[in-house]
Amino acid sequence: MTRFWLLKILRTAPTLWFVVTFTFVVLRTSGDPVVALVGADATPEEIEQFRALWRLDDPLWVQYVRYVMQMATGQFGISYRDGREVIDIIAERVPWTLMLGLFSYIGAILIGVPAGIVAAIKRGSTFDNLIMATAVFGFALPNFFLGILMILLFSLSLQWLPSSGTGTVWHLIMPAVTLATFTAGTLARFTRSAMLEVLDKLYIRAAAAKGVGYWKRVILHALPNASIPLVTIIGLNLGELIGGAIVVETVFAWPGIGRLLVTAVSSRDLAVVQGLVLIMAVTMVLANLVVDLLYGLLDPRIRVQN
């Protein structure tokens, strides 16, 4: 069992290496960072000085090796822009994203999963159609658009909620709802189909033949089985959530890592971009590990024997 997990963790190393390398290659081949950083009207001397300062005049492979070594030892370096430690810059942003993400993620699960269950057991009814129509609306609507619509309605017209920034719990509502809509819609849809499949199984009928009541069959017998495919979706959706955060944080001026990434990319602050990408990749890899762990807990057939 321990060996199983050790192997799983070891397998994440190539993934992370690939992400690190990819980021490096893309950032270095998409234009000279120095020009963007020091400004177009800088003198050649200033540019050379800047290059030497950040050791950007070394051959590319030397920079690459140095960078990979730094990443491997957890040193993200110093921001080209304001000279602070990248790790500090990121650290002050992470709690905001975490707060937003957690709220919308839990909200999405609490809304999406029960909605899917109800749709499945009321299959074909008006209720089912209504839930599914809402779900499609939820994941078809681009979240920047939904965000802007909500600002127009709740901030400008009704003046119920603040349009951007932070400070109170009211500031959290619109970004969290915008972010959760997509995930909740997807989850509702997948829960419905997973439940429909499981409810059709012979063991559900066999449970009824034992005298197990309807809701017990749905909640105790069907749902744990349906949750096995759901866990995959929930894990994958973490990626959607990170992607969504970039957009939503920008729309609502939320001071999280998503907005940080956007500003860092546009100002070519390489060290910050690289650090952020690595952190996001690690998050996804961890989410996958958690999904694998949950599989084992949920499904004895997947659990490694001995």
Partner 1 sequence: MSSERLSIEHLNVPLPLGADRRFAVEDLSLTVSKGEILCIVGESGSGKSLTALATMGLLPRNLGNPVGRVMFEGQDLLTIDDATRRSITGRRIAMIFQEPMAALNPIFRVGEQVSETFRIHTSLSQAEIRRKVIDLFREVQLPNPEQIYHSYPHQLSGGQCQRVMIATALALDPSVLIADEPTTALDVTTQAQILKLMLELRAKHDTGIIFITHDFGVVAEIADRVAVMQMGRLVEIGTRDEILNHPREDYTRRLLAAVPTLTPRKERKGLGNPVLVARNIVKTFTRSGLFGSGRTVKAVDDVDITIRRGETLGLVGESGSGKSTLAQCVIRLVQPESGDILISGGDFAGLSGKALREARRKVQIVFQDPYTALDPRQKVGDSIAEGPIIHGLDRKAAMARALDLLEACGLDRASANRFPHEFSGGQRQRICIARALAVEPELLIADESVSALDVSVQAQVLKLLADMQARLGFGILFITHDLRVASQICDNIAVMKNGRIVERGDPASLFGAPKEAYTKELLAAVPGKSWQHHASENEAGEPKLRKEAP
Smaller CB distance to partner 1: residue 230 or 260?
230
For the chain, the 3-state helix, strand and coil shares in percent, each to the nearest 5, are 80, 0, 20
Q: How far is the CB of 234 from partner 1 (least distance, A)?
A: 18
Q: How far is the CB of 283 from partner 1 (least distance, A)?
A: 27
Q: How far is the CB of 119 from partner 1 (least distance, A)?
A: 15
Contact 246, 262 (CB under 8 A): yes
Smaller CB distance to partner 1: residue 55 or 201?
201
Residue identified by tokens 């920079």 is: 63
Closest CA to 234 of 281, 277, 191: 191
Query: How far is the C-alpha of 127 from the C-alpha of 122, rounded, in Å?
Result: 7
Contact 85, 278 (CB under 8 A): no
Smaller CB distance to partner 1: residue 130 or 206?
206
Smaller CB distance to partner 1: residue 171 or 221?
221
- Listed in sequence order, the residues at least 6 apart from 38 whose beta carbon sits closer than 8 Å to its beta carbon are 46, 47, 50
Contact 97, 258 (CB under 8 A): yes
CA distances from 181 to 13, 112, 138, 241 (A): 33, 9, 5, 10
Smaller CB distance to partner 1: residue 121 or 180?
121
Q: How far is the CB of 205 from partner 1 (least distance, A)?
A: 6
Q: How far is the CB of 191 from partner 1 (least distance, A)?
A: 17
Smaller CB distance to partner 1: residue 61 or 214?
214
> What type of residue is 74?
G
- Assigned token pair, 90: 């990121």
Other CB atoms within 10 Å distance of the CB of residue 132:
17
Q: How far is the CB of 228 from partner 1 (least distance, A)?
A: 8
Structure letter (DSSP) for residue 305: P
Smaller CB distance to partner 1: residue 226 or 277?
226
CA distances from 233 to 77, 84, 91, 139, 255 (A): 35, 38, 28, 14, 28
Q: How far is the CB of 189 from partner 1 (least distance, A)?
A: 22
Smaller CB distance to partner 1: residue 218 or 281?
218
Residues lying near partner 1 in the complex (CB under 8 A) = 3-4, 7, 201-203, 205-214, 221, 224-225, 298-301, 304
Q: How far is the CB of 305 from partner 1 (least distance, A)?
A: 9
